[in-house]
Amino acid sequence: MHIVVCVKQVPDTKIIKINPKTNTLDRRSAPAILNPYDAHAVQEAVKIKKMLGKGIISVLSMGPPQATAVIKKSIEIGADRGFLISDRAFAGADTLATSYALSKALERISKENPVDLIICGKHAIDGDTGQVGPGIARRLDIPPVTNVIEVSELNENESTVLLKRKITSGYEMIQAQVPCLMTVEKEINSIEYSPMPNMIKAARYEPVIWSVNDLEDVDRTQLGLKGSPTIVGKMFTPPKPEGGIRLEGNADEQVKQLMDLLSDKKELFAAQ
């Protein structure tokens, strides 16, 4: 089984600052990391490979040359090889153009070694749209299964996979024909410590880097800013909530304060 995991380099949004003048992310204020959902996607590929006792795990990223770092991180987790598509032609891409460029790279990877399963994160913690995975599936005309929390069964003979996906009211089981694409939630697995040989391999690993000229049958009008119909109308930092009462002290004291406050307002609730 050939599994390709799409991995994105993102700023660590736990510490990133917002430029108050432009209302855009100040990317220099935070280190670049592997999108946390994508780390779980790579870990799941490793789990599937272990379960089957064979397979190849490739990772694919689109980004600037520095994005090789997330490919190395994926090798550390257990991926076998990595591809980065990097070119000025891809710059300024929205989710439509990103999924187009990634699907073209996937076609090239698949030509050399047919891809059975594509795994993406549920969403990237910076852009946060969750559109790229389903966008790739649509372009490659394969079924997408989103919000997967468990790979329950994999039948190589019948080329099917049984997936458990999270929905608002619980979960549902979906049987999909491979090749297919799934996007994963964090609870699908826990990230394991990387064994030393993986770390050594990652440190020495040089990902394959492709420019737009390395991809076949590319319609350049669908790439980068040119191929991005999304218009950012306005950017703003949501105002901090005003008012409210801060409860002080330990939990017992806070509960007492809350009960007193509610009791003072009881005629307000009675009126409703």
Ligand X SMILES: Cc1cc2nc3c(=O)[nH]c(=O)nc-3n(C[C@H](O)[C@H](O)[C@H](O)COP(=O)(O)OP(=O)(O)OC[C@H]3O[C@@H](n4cnc5c(N)ncnc54)[C@H](O)[C@@H]3O)c2cc1C
Site residues (vs ligand X, CB under 6 A): 6-8, 35, 37-38, 61-63, 91-95, 98, 102, 120-121, 123-124, 126-133, 228, 230, 232
Between 30 and 257, name the residue whose CB sits nearer to ligand X.
30
CB of 225 to ligand X, least distance (A): 6
Give me the least distance between CB of 174 and ligand X, in Å please.
Answer: 19
Looking at the Cβ atoms of 41 and 272, the one nearer to ligand X is 41
Quick one: 127 or 257, whose CB is closer to ligand X?
127
If phi > 0 it is left, if psi is from -120 to 50 it is alpha, else beta; for residue 233 that is alpha
Kindly state the smallest distance separating residue 183's Cβ from ligand X, in Å: 6
Nearest to 4 by CA among 80, 59, 54: 59
Smallest gap, in angstroms, from Cβ of residue 59 to ligand X? 9
Q: How many Cα atoms are found within 13 Å in the side-chain-facing hemisphere of 4? A: 27
Distance of closest approach, residue 23 Cβ to ligand X, in angstroms: 14
- Of 69 and 132, nearer to ligand X (C-beta) is 132
CA–CA distance, 78 with 160 (Å, rounded to integer): 24
- Encode 5-41 in three state secondary structure: EECCEEECCCCCEECCCCCCEEHHHCCEEECHHHHHH
Fill in the DSSP letter of residue 226: G
| Residue nearest ligand X, CB atom distance | 127
Which residue type is seen at 204? R
Nearest to ligand X of 133, 179 (CB atom): 133
Structure tokens at 191: 């990230």
